[in-house]
Amino acid sequence: MSHDIADATATDTRPAARAHTLQATPSVIAVQGLTKRYASGFEALKRIDLDIQRGEIFALLGPNGAGKTTLISIICGLVNASDGQVRVNGHDIVTDYRAAREQIGLVPQELTSDAFATVWNTVSFSRGLFGKRADSAHIERVLRSLSLWDKRRNKMITLSGGMKRRVLIAKALAHEPQILFLDEPTAGVDVELRRDMWDVVRQLRDQGVTVILTTHYIEEAEEMADRIGVINDGEIVLVEEKAALMRQLGRKRLRLDLQTPLAAIPETLAHYPLSLADDGNVLVYTYAASADEYSTPASISALLNDIEAAGVHFKDLHTEQSSLEEIFVNLVRKDA
Ligand SMILES: Nc1ncnc2c1ncn2[C@@H]1O[C@H](COP(=O)(O)OP(=O)(O)OP(=O)(O)O)[C@@H](O)[C@H]1O
């Protein structure tokens, strides 16, 4: 597929954006102070700032009703913002709508195409909607890259659920966008197809397409994303590289299975971050997954020595690391 790298001169040069994003790669989408109040008066987005970097896979996570669809819909020009600004490759989505929209492919959750149209016609038609010249070589590349080439003459109604999902992606890529939005790409699909879709998305990223996906599946974000944004109650509560997020917020636990259960933690061990679990049969040492005072090899070996010295004997030990799921739940938990 030919997804040329976008015009490098079309970067956002506003001082605010420059100060805000001290990154090497220019942002391909720049969202500033975006607010959406629906007619009911409900504020679905509250002054959102967000920069998407060229060529990344960005996962937007959030519970139901957080504002994910509203945010995507505004960027794609389907819903009007109440306030704020969005630039796509430097094009304002309001004053320069056509140029901004042309950069974007949107993969919705549901297929609304004519059930009796062929795969080829469905995908070609999508290209036409953007006023692009017919380009059968491009459509062929798209269909081949999504393993749909053999199905090009099939009517949509004859396709499996998985193939229909691929057609949705093909339609979104038909006009050669550089940015692809995937709204819940694997909602309700089986594990095999989910892995298959992940491969497809990674290939697109490798071809230079910037991918933004919304998902309820933490596993999906953990598996795929370069960066993760968490949205809750219309606010971006966190944007972070996945690896850094796992390091910063992740906790590690060292679990020691004891030979005899303990009723309480011995006094001599009170200064360690220790707790008891499983009716005193397990001693748990919790520390940051990133380096902190409790996680150095020296502190762990000191702990083990002190445990022996306290007369506590263990028969087995293992470590666990908190998953992105735990981190996410903690971030969006409503501490009412
Ligand atoms: N047309 C509308 N009028 C009034 N409120 C709306 C409208 N559309 C959405 N909302 C509200 O805005 C909030 C955000 O909705 P949105 O669909 O953006 O959330 P979401 O994060 O995509 O949720 P989900 O994961 O369930 O799709 C919700 O409280 C929703 O009820």
Nearest Cα residue to atom 28 of ligand 1:
65
Verify that 86 and 21 share a domain, yes or no.
yes
The domain tally of the chain equals 2
Nearest Cα residue to atom 29 of ligand 1:
65
Domain termination residue (choose one: 214, 230, 247): 247
Domain with 203 in it:
15-103+177-247
- CATH number of the domain where residue 285 is located: 3.30.70
178-199 confidence digits (pLDDT tens): 999 998 888 777 777 788 788 8
Instruction: Say yes or no to pLDDT of 308 above 60.
Output: yes
259-297 confidence digits (pLDDT tens): 999 999 999 999 898 999 999 999 999 887 665 556 666
Verify that 23 and 88 share a domain, yes or no.
yes
Atom from ligand 1 closest to the CA of residue 62: 21
Regarding the beta carbon of 68 and ligand 1, being less than 6 Å apart is answered: yes
Residue that has been written with the tokens 């805000």 in this structure: 20
Confirm if 119 and 152 have CB atoms less than 8 A apart: yes
Verify that 98 and 44 share a domain, yes or no.
yes
Residue 77 alpha carbon to ligand 1 centre in Å: 16
Verify that 36 and 90 share a domain, yes or no.
yes
Contacts of 213 (CB under 8 A, 6+ apart): 57, 58, 59, 60, 181, 182, 183, 184, 185, 201, 220, 224, 225
Verify that 266 and 236 share a domain, yes or no.
no
Regarding the beta carbon of 69 and ligand 1, being less than 6 Å apart is answered: yes
112-159 confidence digits (pLDDT tens): 767 889 999 999 999 988 888 899 999 999 999 888 999 999 999 999
Domain termination residue (choose one: 194, 224, 247): 247
- CATH number of the domain where residue 20 is located: 3.40.50.300
ipTM exceeds 0.90: yes
Burial of 281 from C-beta contacts in 10 A (0-12 / 13-18 / 19+): middle
Using DSSP, state whether 323 is helix, strand or coil: coil
29 within a domain of the structure (yes/no): yes
Q: What is the mean pLDDT of the chain?
A: 84
Regarding the beta carbon of 72 and ligand 1, being less than 6 Å apart is answered: no
Rounded percentage of the chain residues whose pLDDT exceeds 90? 53
- And the tokens for 273? 């971050």
- Contacts for 115-119: CB closer than 8 Å, 24+ residues apart: 115/155, 115/156, 115/157, 116/155, 116/156, 116/157, 117/155, 117/156, 118/152, 118/153, 118/154, 118/155, 118/156, 119/143, 119/148, 119/151, 119/152, 119/153, 119/154, 119/156, 119/159, 119/167, 119/170
| Ligand 1 pocket: which of 34, 37, 38, 46 to mutate (most atoms within 8 A of CB) | 38
Quote the pLDDT of residue 114.
77
Tell me, yes or no, if the pTM score tops 0.80.
no
Verify that 95 and 189 share a domain, yes or no.
yes
